[in-house]
Structure 1
Amino acid sequence: MVEAFVLIQTEVGRAEVIAKQLGGLSGVLSAEYVTGPYDVVVRAEAPSLEELRSTVVPSVQQVAGITRTLTCPIAGEAAS
């Protein structure tokens, strides 16, 4: 499985609602609204990087109120 963080900017005042909508999408492991330059952070997974790019990320981007996304594939396992 390939995992990625998707950093999302939303229309003003919509972060909480959008995070809740994103949490129900296939391939989304978690969706949290945050403060800072991004409004929502999603952790997503798919069987391959190609499937992440072709199915999961587009489904995230189609949610109304999202203005910009930045997808950051996780490079490898974190050291324990």
Structure 2
Amino acid sequence: MVEAFMLIQTEVGRAEVVAKQLAGLAGVLSAEYVTGPYDVVARIGAGTLDELKATVVPSVQKVAGITRTLTCPVAGAAQS
């Protein structure tokens, strides 16, 4: 499985609503609203990078209230 973090900016006052909407989408593993330069951080995943780019990312970007996204693919898993 290929995973990525999406850093998301939303319209003012929409972060909580956007995070809740994202949590219900296929391919979204988690979505949290945060403080700082981004309003929501989502962890997304798919079987391949092509599938992630072709299906999951566009479905996230279509959610009302999102103004900008930055997708950061996970390079490797940290060992504990």
TM over 0.5: yes
Identity of aligned residues (%): 80
- Structure 2-normalised TM-score? 0.98
Matched, 1:71 2:71: yes
Aligned-partner Cα distance in 1 for 2:34–2:19:
10
1:6 aligns with 2:16: no
Query: Unpaired segments of 5 or more residues in structure 1?
Result: none
Alignment root-mean-square deviation, CA: 0.5
Q: How does the TM-score come out when normalised to structure 1? A: 0.98
Answering whether residue 29 of structure 2 is matched by residue 29 of structure 1, we say yes
Runs of at least 5 residues in structure 2 that lack an aligned partner in the other structure? none
CA distance in 2: counterparts of 1:72 and 1:78, whole angstroms: 16
* Stretches (4+) displaced over 4 A: none
In 1, Cα distance between equivalents of 2:15 and 2:64: 11
Q: What is the number of residues matched between the two proteins?
A: 80
